[in-house]
Structure 1
Amino acid sequence: MPRRRSLTARGIGALVAGLGCLIAANLVGAPILLYIGVLLIAVTAFAVLAVRAPRRSGSVARQISTDLLTVSETSRVTVRFSLRALRVPRALWRDVLPEAVSGDSAGEYPSETGQLSYLITGVRRGVWPIGPLVLRTVDPFGLAQREQAFGETRSVTVVPEVFTLAPLTVKVGAAGGTAHTSSSRLGQGSDNLSPRRYVSGDSMRRIHWRATAHRGQLMVRQEEEESSPDALVILDRSASRWERPGDEADPAFETAVSMCASVAVHLVQEGYGVDVIDSAGTLLGTLRGHEDDRDGLLVALALTAPRGEARDVVALVGGTPPGPLVYITGRIDEEDAARLRPAGAAAPLLFATALEPGAKDVAAQQGWRVADLGEDITEAWEDVLPDRVGLAPAEPQGRAR
C-alpha cells in the first residue's frame, strides 16, 4: 500500500510560498515578507504536528455476507472499527481492496450507525486479502494529512461462476443419473436385494456382512456397486494448452474453469455421482449431492492454474468407463484431437476454447461430441446436446433460457 506524504498540495504550496517570502525579504529588504514567510512556515509545521502527534490505536473486525464470493456476485462487507484515542477525529476511511475485487470501500468517519459497510463484487477467482483499514485525517487548514492503517487483512475467496445448463432428459450410461441414484438409495440397508460373490478388485466397503456370515464367503452389495461414481469431468490445465501472459488472467482458461464448475454441479443435480480431476489425474473434487462437496470443488477451482503436462484419457478413466465423460481443454490441433480417446464412455463430450482447422472432425471421428467453448458457456453446452445426448432418441426441445 503506497504511503501518502505528510503535506497536502495546499501544504506544499504554503511551504514553498513561505520559503519564497523569506528569500524575497532578503533580496528586496521588505520586513513584511519576512513576517509572512515565517508565519506560513510556522502554520505548516503546526498543522503537521496537529495531525501526527496524537496517539491512536484500534481494532478491526470484518464480516462478509457470503463465505464464498462468486465471480460477478455482490456481497456486503461489514466492518466493526474500534478506535482508541483522546479525541475521535473527523476523518475519511477506506478499506484496501485487491484488483480482483471491486467496490466502493470508503466513507466518512465516524459513521452515524457506528458500523462501516460496503459492497464488493468478485472480478477474478482466487484467494485475496481485504484490508487493512486506513484512516485519513487532515488539519483544519488542509495543509497536512495523516494516513494510519489499522487491523489485519481478511481473506476472501472468489470462486468461478456457475451457470445453469440445459438438462439431460434421458438416461446416459448403463444406469442413468437421477433414476439410478434413487433406486440405489432405496436399496441401501435392505436385505431383499441379492448380493453377489466378492471378486478381486471390489471395495471392502461394499461387503454385505450379513450375507457373508450366512453363506460363509465374502459377498458384496449389488446396489452399492451400481451406485458407484458414473460421471467424470476432466479439466485439461496442461501448460501447452493455454496462454499465460504473466500474472494476467487468461480469459480462455477462466471460461474453462467456469465451464468445469458448471458441468460438475449440473451433473450432480441430474443425479450422478461426479468426480472432477485435472489432466494429470489430480482429484479436484468429488460431488455426491452435499453442499460441502460443492464448496470444496469451487475452492479447489478458485486456486487452479495452468501447469504440467496432460496424461492419456484412457489412463485417467481407468478400467471402468463412466457414463458422461466431459473433457474441457484449450487450444488443440488435429494431432492433439487424435490422441484424445473417449475410453469407452457412454457420452463423451469435448469442449475446447480454440479448435484448430480439422481438429473438430478428428475428435468427432474418435467418438466425441465437440463444441467450441466461447464466452457463452450455456450455448457451448447446448451445442453438444442438439438431440439431448443419450442412448435412446429424445424428442426435440427448444434451448433452455
Structure 2
Amino acid sequence: MRRALAGLTTRGRSFVAAGTTAIVCAVVLGERDLLRAGVLVLVLPLLCTLAVSRTRYRLACARRLEPARLPVGHEARVDLRLENVSRLPSGLLMVEDRVPYALGGRARFVLERIESHGTRELGYRIRSDVRGRYRVGPLTVRLADPFGMVELVRSFSLSDTLTVTPAIVPLPPSRLSGAWTGGGDSIARALSAAGEDDVAPRDYRHGDDLRRVHWRSTARRGELMVRREEQHFQSSGTLFLDTRRSAHWGDGPAGSFEQAVSATASIGVHLVRTGMSLRYVTDAGEALPAAPSEGAFEGLLLDALAVARRSKAGTLSAGLAALHGAHNRGREGNGLVIAVFGVLSEEEARTVAAARRGGGTCVAVLVQGGTGPETANAGTNATKTAEETAAGLLRAGGWRVVTVRSAADLAGAWRQAGKAGENFVRDGS
C-alpha cells in the first residue's frame, strides 16, 4: 500500500490535496455538503490505490535483439513478448523499454488488457549513427487504474547489449605481401618449387606410410627415412591504430579519429577474411593478440574498435615497443604491418620509420582529416607541408604510404598500395 501511495500521479495528488482542503474547510465553516464532497474527492484516489496495490497477476517477459552487432547507420530490431501467467486478466498497462538516447530514445506502448495466460508481442527498431556499446532494456511496466490516479512501476531485470561497430568500407582484393609463420613467404615459395632431392627427410616412425619413404636418403643413411609432412604456412600481420588525442582533430563522425577507426576496421576485416592471422596494437601497446579462429578475431576486433576512445598518451613508444617485441620473438618479424596514423610530426615520423625491421611489408595509412564543415579550415599550407614531410620520411624508411581524407577514400588507396608492392617486386628492390 505504501508503494502504491508513492505511485500517485499528478492527478491523484491533486485529488488528495483538493479533498483534504475541502474537508478542513467544511469543518471550519460547518458545511456538511462541502464535507461530503471533500470525502468523495479524497476517497477516490485512495480506492484506486487500494485496487492497484491488490493486483495479483504476474507478467513474464522475453526479448530478442537481432542483430546484436551492426555497423553504424544500420538498424536492429527488438522483439518483446509479454505474457500474463496468472489467472486474472490485467488492467491498463503502459509498457516502456529503456533505450539510450543515441539509439532513438524510449520505446513506449499502451496495452488495454491481457487476458489470463494471454500474450502480447511488441516490436520496434533502433538505429545509431555513433559507434559504441549500448544497453537496451530492461522493460518497465506501469500498472494504472482506469481514472489515472495511480501508476505502479514494475521492472524486469532482462536486458540486451547492442554493439555498434565502425563503418566498414569494402576493399579490393589487392595483394600485400606479408610474412609466413615459420620464416617468411620466401620459404613458402622455396618449398613449393623444391624438388624431391631438396626435401629434408626425417627418421622413420612406427605408423608412417611406406609410400612416403625417401629411398635415396635411406640408401645413404642405411636406415629408413621418410619425407616430412607438408608444412602449412599462414600469413600473419599486425594492425596498428594511433589513438593519441594530439594526433587527431575534429569531432563527430567527420573527425579524423572516427575516420581512422573506420579505416582500421575496414582493413582488419578485409585481411582476416583473406585468411591472415592478425594482432591488434595501439599506441598504448598490444590490445588484441592473434586469435586461432578468423571469425573470433574479427568479432573481437570490431568489439574493441566499437568502444575505442582517444588516449592521452603523448608518444608512440609503447605501441612501437609492441611492434619491436614481435620482431624480437621472430614469429611475426617479417609480417605485414598496417599502421593507421593521424597527424605525425617530423620527429614522430622519423621514429616510426626507424621501427621497420627486416624485409617485411609496412604500410602507413595517414588520415589527413574528416570531411565535415568543422574540418574544412584545417587544410592549411603548414598542415599540408607537415603531412608531406611525414610521408617522405616514412617512404625513405621503407614504408609504403597512402594518404586518405576519409575512410571512403580507402578503397582507392588500398589498390594503389597493392600496385606499389607489385612495382617493388618487379624492380627487384
The equivalent of 2:387 in structure 1 is 360
Query: Residues 136 and 159 of structure 2 are in contact (CA less than 8 Å); yes or no, is this contact kept in structure 1?
Result: yes
The equivalent of 2:280 in structure 1 is 276
Query: Residues 229 and 322 of structure 1 are in contact (CA less than 8 Å); yes or no, is this contact kept in structure 2?
Result: no
The equivalent of 1:90 in structure 2 is 92
SS in 1 for 2:364: strand
Give the Cα–Cα distance (whole angstroms) in 2 for the partners of residues 55 and 384 of structure 1: 64
Give the Cα–Cα distance (whole angstroms) in 2 for the partners of residues 279 and 197 of structure 1: 45
Give the Cα–Cα distance (whole angstroms) in 2 for the partners of residues 292 and 210 of structure 1: 39
1:297 maps onto 2:301 in alignment: yes
TM-score normalised per structure 2: 0.68
Query: Residues 253 and 259 of structure 2 are in contact (CA less than 8 Å); yes or no, is this contact kept in structure 1?
Result: no
Deviations 1:176-231 (A, max 9, x none): 9xxx99xx79x99x996954599xxxxxxxxxx988x978999977863xx34344
How far apart are 1:48 and its partner, in Å? 1.7
The equivalent of 1:371 in structure 2 is 403
SS in 1 for 2:90: coil
Give the Cα–Cα distance (whole angstroms) in 1 for the partners of residues 268 and 44 of structure 2: 66
Give the Cα–Cα distance (whole angstroms) in 2 for the partners of residues 221 and 81 of structure 1: 59
The equivalent of 1:50 in structure 2 is 51
Give the Cα–Cα distance (whole angstroms) in 2 for the partners of residues 70 and 315 of structure 1: 33
1:107 maps onto 2:104 in alignment: no
Give the Cα–Cα distance (whole angstroms) in 1 for the partners of residues 257 and 226 of structure 2: 48
Aligned AA (2:23): L
SS in 2 for 1:129: strand
Give the Cα–Cα distance (whole angstroms) in 2 for the partners of residues 193 and 97 of structure 1: 68
Pick the aligned partner of 2:422 from 383, 389, 392: 392
The equivalent of 2:73 in structure 1 is 72
SS in 1 for 2:62: strand
Query: Residues 248 and 343 of structure 2 are in contact (CA less than 8 Å); yes or no, is this contact kept in structure 1?
Result: yes
The equivalent of 1:153 in structure 2 is 158
Give the Cα–Cα distance (whole angstroms) in 1 for the partners of residues 53 and 293 of structure 2: 57
Deviations 1:107-153 (A, max 9, x none): 23357963232222245444443322211122111122111112x23
CA RMSD, Structure 1 to Structure 2 (Å): 4.6
Query: Residues 172 and 323 of structure 1 are in contact (CA less than 8 Å); yes or no, is this contact kept in structure 2?
Result: no
Corresponding residue pairs, total: 367
**Change over 3 Å in CA distance of 1:49–1:352 after alignment to 2:** same
Query: Residues 103 and 119 of structure 1 are in contact (CA less than 8 Å); yes or no, is this contact kept in structure 2?
Result: no
1:382 maps onto 2:412 in alignment: yes
> Which structure features the higher share of helix residues?
2
Query: How do 1:110-121 residues align onto structure 2 when only pairs under 5 Å count?
Result: 114-121=120-127
More moved, 130-139 vs 288-297? 288-297
Give the Cα–Cα distance (whole angstroms) in 2 for the partners of residues 64 and 286 of structure 1: 29
Query: How do 1:178-327 residues align onto structure 2 when only pairs under 5 Å count?
Result: 195=199, 224=232, 227-238=233-244, 241=247, 252-270=256-274, 272-284=276-288, 286=290, 290-307=294-311, 310=316, 311=318, 312=320, 315=324, 318=327, 322=334, 324-327=336-339
Aligned AA (1:138): A
Give the Cα–Cα distance (whole angstroms) in 1 for the partners of residues 308 and 5 of structure 2: 36
Give the Cα–Cα distance (whole angstroms) in 2 for the partners of residues 155 and 254 of structure 1: 25
Pick the aligned partner of 1:349 from 364, 367, 373: 364
Give the Cα–Cα distance (whole angstroms) in 1 for the partners of residues 198 and 307 of structure 2: 45
The equivalent of 2:140 in structure 1 is 134
SS in 2 for 1:146: strand
Identity %: 23
**Change over 3 Å in CA distance of 1:384–1:4 after alignment to 2:** farther
Give the Cα–Cα distance (whole angstroms) in 2 for the partners of residues 343 and 49 of structure 1: 76
**Change over 3 Å in CA distance of 1:90–1:258 after alignment to 2:** same
The equivalent of 1:12 in structure 2 is 13
Give the Cα–Cα distance (whole angstroms) in 2 for the partners of residues 113 and 10 of structure 1: 30
Aligned AA (2:365): L
The equivalent of 1:143 in structure 2 is 149
SS in 2 for 1:163: coil
Query: Residues 256 and 367 of structure 2 are in contact (CA less than 8 Å); yes or no, is this contact kept in structure 1?
Result: no
SS in 2 for 1:35: helix
Aligned AA (1:37): G
Query: Residues 100 and 124 of structure 1 are in contact (CA less than 8 Å); yes or no, is this contact kept in structure 2?
Result: yes
**Change over 3 Å in CA distance of 1:47–1:70 after alignment to 2:** same
> Structure 2: which 5+ residue stretches go unaligned?
203-211, 370-377, 425-429
How far apart are 1:346 and its partner, in Å? 2.8
Aligned AA (1:363): A
In terms of Rg, which structure is larger?
Answer: 2
More moved, 262-271 vs 110-119? 110-119
